[in-house]
Amino acid sequence: MAVKNQEGSGKITLDRKILTSIINLAAKEINGVESVTNTQRPWWKKLFNRYDDGVEIKFEKNGALTVDVFLNILVGFSVPDIAYRVQENIRNSLATMVALKPLKINIHVINVDCDKEVENA
């Protein structure tokens, strides 16, 4: 669970599933992203964490947030451009929705999907 202290008294507690959903939706909003996937994760991690959908969230001891996102992209799009736009969209979504600023957002491109381009050709 993520805990964010406010300036007044009290705290806000967020479930990890909420953060995963926000990150997943922010990644899928970018044109050229086919899907967010967890196919490269070991089977035992999938078994114990079924709701990750290709997103790993880590909270460091100092409270910093690190995000890893695993993507399938479409052929014909620039990989560095998509990775940059996904990072910026995730950063903006987390800042506006839950007032969190992640320390790192790592984008892992797992696969380039050629099927859509071949069907259109």
The CATH number that applies at residue 97 is: 3.30.70.1350
**N-terminal to C-terminal alpha carbon distance within the chain:** 46
Query: Number of structural domains, the chain?
Result: 1
- On whether residue 6 sits in a domain, the answer given is no
pLDDT at 69 over 80: yes
- On whether residue 30 sits in a domain, the answer given is yes
Residue-number span of the structural domain to which 36 is assigned: 15-120
pLDDT for the residue numbered 13: 81
Instruction: Quickly state the pLDDT bin for 49 (edges 50, 70, 90).
Output: low
Please, what is the average pLDDT of the chain? Answer: 82
Q: How many alpha carbons fall within 13 Å on the CB side of residue 24?
A: 16
pLDDT at 32 over 80: yes
CA distances from 106 to 7, 55, 56, 90, 114 (A): 30, 10, 10, 11, 24
CA distance 48 to 25: 22
- On whether residue 8 sits in a domain, the answer given is no
pLDDT for the residue numbered 107: 94
- Reduced to 3 states (helix: H, G, I; strand: E, B; else coil), residue 47 is helix
Residue with tokens 């696969």: 111
CA distance 20 to 57: 8
- List pLDDT tens digits, range 78-112: 999 999 999 999 999 999 998 889 999 999 999 88
- On whether residue 76 sits in a domain, the answer given is yes
Residue with tokens 């490269």: 40
pLDDT for the residue numbered 6: 53
